[in-house]
Amino acid sequence: MFDWAVAELPVYADTTPPGWGRWLLARRSLTRNAKSKHEIAYYLCCAPTGTTDKDLIRVAGARWAIEDWFQTAKTDVGLDQYQVRRYDAWYRHITLAMLAHTYLAITAAIAPKALAAASSRSR
C-alpha cells in the first residue's frame, strides 16, 4: 500500500510539447523497510494537459508489472540473449522473443480453462 502525492510543475516552452503538462509524483510506502523508514519513490511525468492524477498514478503503478514482464521474458525466452552486430538482427531477435513470450502467456492463461473443460467431459 502506498500514499501518493502529485504536484504540477511549470511548463517550459523549449522542453514541453504544446498541449502537454509536467507533474512530479511521489509514492510513499505505508510499511516500513528494514531500516524502519518509509521508502519514497519519485516519478517525473509528462502527459497531455487534462490528464487526471488518477491516470498518472495508474500508469506509474503499472511500471512494476512491465518490469516483471521483461524479467520473465529474459528468463523464459532469452530476451536478453542476443549476440548481433546489426540493428535489423537485434530487432528480429527482440520481436520474435516478445512474440514467443506473449504466446506463452496466453497459453498459460487459457490452459487451466482447457484442462478443466477436458476433465469435466471425461467424467
**Closest residue by Cα to residue 28 from 18, 39, 20:** 39
Structural domain boundaries in the chain: 2-61, 65-121
SS (H, E, C) 74-119: HHHHCCCCCCCCCHHHHHHHHHHHHHHHHHHHHHHHHHHHHHHHHH
**Closest residue by Cα to residue 7 from 20, 18, 21, 17:** 21
Chain centroid, CA 42 distance in Å:
16
Based on its alpha-carbon atoms, the radius of gyration of the chain, rounded to whole angstroms, reads 21
* pLDDT tens-place values along the chain, 123 residues long: 889 999 999 988 788 888 999 999 999 988 887 777 888 899 999 999 999 999 999 998 888 888 888 899 999 999 999 898 999 999 999 999 999 999 998 998 888 776 677 666 666
Chain centroid, CA 121 distance in Å:
39
- The verdict on pTM exceeding 0.85 is no
